[in-house]
Structure 1
Amino acid sequence: MKTKTILAVVVLLGGAAFAVAQTTHSGHDDCTDHATHVQDQSPRGTILSEPGQGAFAALSEVVRVLEADPDTDWGQVDLAGLRAHLVDMDRLISDAIVEETALPDGLTAIATGDADTVATLRRMVPAHAAQLAQDDRWTVTAIEAENAVELRVTSNNPAVAARIKGLGFFGLMASQDHHREHHLMMARGADAHAH
């Protein structure tokens, strides 16, 4: 993983350097300082809103919140644990192989993948199923199998059953807006539903 990250950074930096080297600007003489030119076109004090790739951006945002909070207990902070969870989130979305079966009252989804993905599914699906189960409009069950995890979500209400089918496995895993609070709890060293 470390080698892949280093390689990705080298490729990105190399590509950026190549792109900068290949950029031509008409109307500029050879003495134009590109850095000055960029600064002159940008309003003073402009701050970018996206600090990078998704997991990096999430970590960066959490670091800003922790640094701004004078009550942060730096001895309890666990950014490595949050990073591991963000890797799990990415692996679930990118690598899980999911077979969904529509039921009259919802759906069942069998999620599998390689050994790392199955381990991720075992960490994430039951924990998120418990979160989903707090919504009394549906019934949620997560069942671990040898090389897979099954998520079953059903409802007696036809409109809710239609919503379940529309969301599918990935929509259900991404639903309910508890993720940011959960990430901040993890970063502070709390056990946020054992991910």
Structure 2
Amino acid sequence: MLHDREVPMTSSTRKLGIITATAAVTLLAGIAFVHPITKAFSQQMSMMNHGMSGDQQMPGMMQHMMQMHGQATMEMGLNAPTLAGQDAFGAVQEIVRILEADSTTDWSKVNFEALRQHLIDMDEVTLRANAPATSVDGGLEIAITGESRTLAAIQRMIPDHAQELNQMNGWHATTQMLPDGVRLTVTSSDPKEIAHIRGLGFIGLLVGGSHHQPHHLAMAKNEMVHQH
């Protein structure tokens, strides 16, 4: 005779318990890398091994597992990395995403190698050029020099960037080619802008303006006619 609270374990019930337990183990293995639940797993296995009815305990256990899986998935999305890990890589990645999202992109004209070479130039000028600055009447004079690949990058970038500076804040920018680089002079007739120019110095002037990002996009689309 069965006790009042005992439920007969039929063959189908035992099979259901085994199948459900197997599915639970598989699910736990799949989400373990984003949401450690070893302790919860041990507690659930302990309940199963103490003779509790499989058809009564398994559904509740599976519901709990699914809830934990949903939480782990959400946390993984919130904590997903966003940095590309390298600036030039990230700059190219940004342009790739823009072009792929644009249905009018003509992929037969796209030239990412030109953009990559320009980013190398930017790296050379930003990190390896010598750029001592001297205050002059109305602003600043900077002798930007380097060797080999750095020299080539300086002579490609600085004259074109001077044209951009000429369009900003009423400044006047000129360049003079040197055997080992370029002399950049930026001046203004406004005392506040003179202080502004001197405060920015070489690197501040180099990043001035908002043309860099559109310039990168145009270069990748092979729409640029100059080498900057």
Q: TM-score, normalised by structure 2?
A: 0.67
Residue number among 202, 216, 220 corresponding to 1:169 in the alignment = 202
Offset of residue 104 of structure 1: 3.0
**Could you say if the C-alpha distance between residues 41 and 68 of structure 1 is closer, same or farther in structure 2, counting changes exceeding 3 Å?**
closer
Q: 8 Å contact 1:185–1:192 — kept in the other structure?
A: no
- Taking the aligned partners of 2:119 and 2:183, their CA distance within structure 1 comes to 21
Q: 8 Å contact 1:92–1:120 — kept in the other structure?
A: yes
Q: Match for 1:35: what amino acid? A: F
Offset of residue 133 of structure 1: 0.9
Task: Give the SS at the match of 1:74.
Answer: coil
The CA RMSD measured in Å over matched residues stands at: 2.2
Q: 8 Å contact 2:175–2:182 — kept in the other structure?
A: yes
Offset of residue 119 of structure 1: 0.5
Select the structure of larger CA radius of gyration: 2
Q: Which has the higher contact order (CA 8 A, sep 6+)?
A: 1
Match of 2:75 in 1: 43
Match of 1:100 in 2: 133
Match of 1:126 in 2: 159
Match of 1:156 in 2: 189
Q: 8 Å contact 2:34–2:76 — kept in the other structure?
A: no
Offset of residue 88 of structure 1: 0.7
Stretch moving more, 150-159 or 43-52: 43-52
Stretch moving more, 128-137 or 99-108: 128-137
- Taking the aligned partners of 2:133 and 2:192, their CA distance within structure 1 comes to 19
What is the 5 A alignment of 1:1-195? 35-37=33-35, 40=72, 43-46=75-78, 47-135=80-168, 137-191=170-224, 193-195=226-228
**Could you say if the C-alpha distance between residues 45 and 94 of structure 1 is closer, same or farther in structure 2, counting changes exceeding 3 Å?**
same
Any runs of at least 4 consecutive aligned residues in structure 1 with deviations exceeding 4 A, and if so which? Answer: none
- Number of aligned residue pairs: 165
Q: 8 Å contact 1:107–1:152 — kept in the other structure?
A: yes
Q: 8 Å contact 1:182–1:192 — kept in the other structure?
A: no
Q: What is the CA deviation profile of residues 57-81 of structure 1, one whole-angstrom value per residue up to 9, with x for unaligned ones? A: 0001110111111100001101000
Q: 8 Å contact 1:106–1:162 — kept in the other structure?
A: yes
Offset of residue 194 of structure 1: 3.1
Q: 8 Å contact 1:97–1:113 — kept in the other structure?
A: yes
Q: What is the CA deviation profile of residues 159-185 of structure 1, one whole-angstrom value per residue up to 9, with x for unaligned ones? A: 000000001111101111111101000
Q: What is the CA deviation profile of residues 8-36 of structure 1, one whole-angstrom value per residue up to 9, with x for unaligned ones? A: xxxxxxxxxxxxxxxxxxxxxxx9x8624
Q: Match for 2:115: what amino acid? A: L
Unaligned runs of 5+ in 2: 1-28, 37-68
Higher helix share: 2
Unaligned runs of 5+ in 1: 1-30
Q: Match for 1:65: what amino acid? A: I
**Could you say if the C-alpha distance between residues 43 and 36 of structure 1 is closer, same or farther in structure 2, counting changes exceeding 3 Å?**
closer
Q: TM-score, normalised by structure 1?
A: 0.78
